[in-house]
Amino acid sequence: MQNSLLSSPSTLNNHVIYCINPHCKQRQNLDELECCQTCGTPLLIHDRYRLIQPLRRLDSRKYTDIFEVDDQGTGKVMKVLRDNHSKLVELLEREALTLELLNHPGIPKVESDGYFTVSVNSTTELHCLVLERIEGQNLEAWAKQYGEISQALALNWLRQILEILEYLHQNQFFHRDIKPSNIILKPDGRLVLIDFGSVREITGTYLAKLRGDIELTKIISEGYTAPEQRQGRCLPQSDFYALGRTLVHLLTNKPPSCLPINHNTGQLIWQDKAPQISKPLAEFIDDLMADAVVNRPQDVKAIAQGLTHVSLWLRGLGCWVRSPKGIATIITLGMMGVGVYHISQPWRFQYYFKQGREDLMELRLEQARINLERAVKINPNDATARSDLGLACKYQEDLQCAKKQFNQALKLNPDAEIAATIHYNLGMLYEDDEKFDQALAEYKRAMGHNGYISIYATNNFARLQIWQKRNYEVAVNLLLKVLQQIETLDLNETEKNNLQSGLYKNLGWAHLEQNRDQDAEKYLQKAIKLDNKQAAPHCLLAQVWQNQVDEKKALISWKNCRKAESRGLPEVQVWQTDALDYLNAQ
């Protein structure tokens, strides 16, 4: 039901109200009347509701009419079932009971007396459900208006829907009909999941399947419904499949049913239609949509862990983290040190330490943390184990644990490379907390080491100088110096291009802030040439074109800004919002 909870922004109409009788030939009436002037049906429903306006076109082919109603001065939404088929009545009753039991800001509320029946004549009984009115626009309509969403917005919306699903699944329900038209975007940016007529109890579904004596109602939404659900075997993981398909629709602005299928693998072919997102996120969405249930995440917790893995790519070092050199530095690999530990530490420490490190390298974060906590418990004076544990906590977004372990590792006087890595990670943690003075101090400490971490720390230090409008010249000098150092490092072409692109972007940004548009354009174009998927240089170049009053070029750059990867940087997410505002104004 596409707009079942979507109310128009208009206020209540003081002149016309509607008759509830679906067979009435003229349903509009003056609000001063007590009964319909055409069929005689009372216009005050259930002694409290007056039908103000339909929220979608009244259509005899649809099973349900949906109205905005006035409940004694409060605006609400009423569903009125036109057809009393037992299955349809069951769905409406189930929706009423479910919403009455649940209490979550992402789920519409229903009062205990929100479900009732109304007799309009001697032969017709209408089943009605009154729900909380949700102001906003469903995501299907939103996508038609604004086009495909950015990576940052996809992650934002994904996390919001997962929070609702976690609550739903914990209460032993699953939705069975997730799709863009069943998700409302409120004016404050929060999402609400609607249309709970298809919801099922998890336990009830399993029992029914085992007994084989109940034919479960099949809910089919073309392009979104999981294969097992089409066969009448719906599971909680069916919601994940539909969620993945929903994300594909929003990222490509194309319904999944309009996209091709790889007939060898059964996978949806869509990634080429969403160039604005990174490969890890695209693969993560493919996992949600796996045909076989066993190949999907098994619960919301597993999805959240997968999102943490994706965030590792999107925030911080990008592709470098996955390279052998990147992994070696960021996880503080030091095989010589491992050899020393093997000789001098008890075998139990060595076992848990090595196993935890392997888990960390493979991003098995929960198991990595368990094994590294065991290693630290055995030998609390090992700086490398504490550093690795801090990293595991960081990737799990347990910032308090991460800071504690990093700071304790520093107190143990680690070698220069490990210390620089710890300072760099602390800088990122403080930046996430918006403690920018502390972040700058930590980045500066990491800059003292001659290695890969020093370059990334310098880039972040310069970026903060620009973002916080502190010292543009310091930023420029540092970035130019680091660009010269890159040539001395043993980097492959991809690593080198990604790093140089980020440095050129920040150089362009610094010059833009100093009103040096010509220099800003030069460096930003270099950044885009090296890495066209990064949103930041496109966003900054759009601002350069606007300064030069070149609206044609500005429009192209703002479009690229909105579609490209934000890499999780907060300033870029702000620019992408600016891009949306600019494009909407055109």
Three-point CA angle 336, 339, 344, nearest 5°: 130
Phi-psi region of 46 (alpha: psi -120 to 50; beta: other; left: phi over 0): left
CA–CA dist 255, 270 (Å, integer): 10
- The three-state secondary structure class of 148 is coil
Share of the chain above pLDDT 90, in %: 37
- Mean pLDDT of the region 322-328: 43
The answer to whether the CB of 118 falls within 8 A of the CB of 126 is yes
- CA–CA dist 454, 328 (Å, integer): 14
Question: For residue 128, which of 74, 92, 76 has the smallest C-alpha distance?
Answer: 92
Classify residue 567 as exposed, middle or buried by CB count within 10 Å of its CB (0-12, 13-18, 19+).
Answer: buried
Q: What is the pLDDT of residue 308?
A: 64
Give the tokens for residue 465.
């100088």
Catalytic residues: 177
Q: What is the pLDDT of residues 47-101, one digit of tens each?
A: 999 999 998 888 877 788 989 999 988 999 999 988 888 878 887 887 788 778 7
Class of domain 344-529: mainly alpha
Over 70: is that where the pLDDT of 213 sits?
A: no
Residue-level pLDDT at 349:
82
Predicted local distance difference test score (pLDDT) of residue 338: 36
Q: Give pLDDT, residue 196.
A: 62
Asked whether residue 203 carries a pLDDT value surpassing 70, the answer given is no
Q: Please determine whether the domains at 137-322 and 344-529 fall in the same fold group of CATH.
A: no
Are the beta carbons of 61 and 55 closer than 8 angstroms?
no
Q: What's the count of helices (H) and strands (E) in the chain, helices before strands?
A: 24, 14
- Mean pLDDT for the stretch of residues 453-466: 92
Phi, psi (rounded to 5 degrees) for 451: 180, -170
Question: Residue with structure tokens 């080198």?
Answer: 496
> Which among 69, 127, 126 is positioned nearest to 96, based on CA atoms?
127
pLDDT in tens, 230-273: 777 777 888 899 999 999 999 999 999 899 988 877 789 999 99
| Mean per-residue pLDDT, 33-44 | 93
For residues 128 and 71, the answer to whether their CB atoms sit within 8 Å is no
Determine which of 181-190, 541-550, 566-575 has the lowest per-residue pLDDT on average. Answer: 566-575
Q: Where are the domains of the chain?
A: 16-132, 137-322, 344-529, 532-585
Tell me: the pLDDT tens digits for 93-106? 877 887 787 888 88
Residue 109's Cβ-count burial label (10 Å; 0-12, 13-18, 19+) is middle
Owner of token pair 């090296």: 530
* pLDDT above 70 (res 209): no
Q: How confident is the model at residue 347 (pLDDT cuts 50, 70, 90)?
A: low
- Provide the pLDDT confidence category of residue 333 given band limits of 50, 70 and 90: very low
pLDDT value of residue 97: 81
CB 504 within 8 A of CB 497: no
The pLDDT score that the predictor gives to residue 99 is: 79
* pLDDT for residue 37 is more than 80: yes
Average pLDDT score over the chain: 81
Q: Are the CB atoms for 139 and 183 separated by under 8 Å?
A: yes
CA distance 325 to 398: 26
Residue 67's φ and ψ, nearest 5 degrees, are -125, 150
Q: Kindly tell me if the per-residue pLDDT of 10 is higher than 50.
A: no
**Lowest mean pLDDT across 179-193, 318-332, 412-426, 528-542:** 318-332
pLDDT value for 309: 56
* Averaged pLDDT for residues 286-291: 88
Q: Token pair for residue 306?
A: 């997968």
The lowest-confidence range among 23-32, 295-304, 308-317, 360-369 is 308-317
- CATH for 137-322, options being 3.30.420.40, 3.40.50.2300, 3.90.800.10, 1.10.510.10: 1.10.510.10
- 148-174 per-position pLDDT tens digit: 888 878 888 998 999 998 888 877 676
- Report the length, in residues, of the chain: 586
Please tell me the class of the 16-132 domain: alpha beta
Token pair of 422, please?
């710890």
Mean pLDDT, residues 41-45 taken together: 94
Token readout for 203 is 């336990």
pTM of the model: 0.52
Mean pLDDT score, 377-394: 90
Per-residue pLDDT for 215 more than 50? no
What residues does 6 pair with on adjacent strands? 134
Element (H, E) at 179: none
Nearest to 334 by CA among 413, 421, 269: 421
pLDDT at 522: 96
CB within 8 Å of 433: residues ≥ 6 apart? 399
pLDDT at 441: 95
Dihedral angle over CA of 176, 177, 180, 185, nearest 10: -70
